[in-house]
Amino acid sequence: MSPIPKPTPALTPPSRRSTRLAGAGSVVAAVLVSAVLTALACDPASAQELKSRSGDPIEILADEALEWRREDKQYVAQGNAVAIQGQNRVHADRLIASYRESGRANAPGAPGPSSTSDTDIYRIEAVGHVRITLPDQTITGTRAVRETDQGLIWIVGNPPTLKTRNEVVTASDRLEYWEKTGTAIAKGNATARNTETGHSIRADVLEADLGNGPGNRAASAPAAGGPDKSSGIREIRARGNVVIETDAETVVGDHGVYRPETGVATLEGNVLLMSNDGRQVSGNRAEVNMKTGISRITRGDAAPGAADGSGQVRAIFDTGDKE
């Protein structure tokens, strides 16, 4: 009589919802900086370097694992995750890439199937110790989201901070970076401070032209053989409750423009200059040179002889005489 065979252990089928691939320091996906990927694959046996439709290779490295959530159409890179494209990098504790699939017809007569499926990454979220490095700037925060259709990255947390060679920009609400124009927008008690002089400009909203847009890179590059003396910020536009502080004075106004290369800030609307020695000068327009320390107040576009006095420049001096 033959022995009764032992039952074969049941095999546990893989989860239909997610697949987790572990690998220390391995390239786990190609996401984050590019708006669209032509392919998205994950091979645990070998690293993959993929390309966006622009042809730029993109890759993500993570110390722990990649989780592929099929039903949610998401990839999650966990553990010191880094997304790389060219000179741009995004570091975070965790990266979450949301994708969509779209069909694309092949050219008539081309080998292979008549159509293929492209995977488009439309939203990427970076969580925990977020650091974004651009060619001349670094942006830090606790959480960032990239909306690839809009070409927008927004950063929040503790506070969100943009650093260039000579400037530090912070905000209480959030920082936005618009890739096509190379523009950073700081919202909520926004402050830009020069790290060399300590001079600062703050406002409800600061909009900084970083010169990183596709049409700006060549113009912002230094001359061949010459040093790059730029701060990384071409111009800062300030809106709402603008305050400029230097070693000698404080100037307030409704809105203004500051150009770090020249050190000149121009303010308009309800301008008031208050010097440290007690002098006050008011007008409609002020030009503050943070390099020379010379400030100029004018009546701006106000009508001369206006009944409310808005067409005049007014100065108040503290003589120090007190009874």
Look at residue 218 and give its three-state secondary structure. helix
pLDDT of residue 255: 97
What SS3 state is found at 112? coil
Summarised one tens digit per residue, pLDDT across range 56-96 is 556 778 999 988 899 999 989 999 999 887 788 899 999 99
Q: When comparing pLDDT for 207 and 227, which is higher?
A: 207
pLDDT at 167: 92
pLDDT at 44: 32
- pLDDT score recorded for residue 202: 96
pLDDT in tens, 270-318: 999 998 888 899 999 999 998 888 888 887 665 444 434 455 665 544 4
Mean pLDDT over the full length of the chain: 74
Taking CA atoms, 249 is separated from 123, 127, 204, 205, 237, in Å, by 45, 41, 20, 22, 20
Looking at residue 206, its pLDDT comes to 98
Select from 3.30.360.10, 2.60.450.10, 3.30.750.24, 1.10.357.10 the CATH code of 134-221+230-323.
2.60.450.10
Spatial contact of 26 and 62, defined as CB atoms under 8 Å apart: yes
CATH 2.60.450.10 location in the chain: 134-221+230-323
Distance CA 8, CA 278 (A): 92
pLDDT by residue (tens digit) across 113-138? 444 456 777 888 999 999 999 888 99
Q: Which amino acid is at 128?
A: G
| Nearest-angstrom CA–CA distance, 175 and 34 | 20
- Rounded CA-CA distance 165/228 in Å is 10
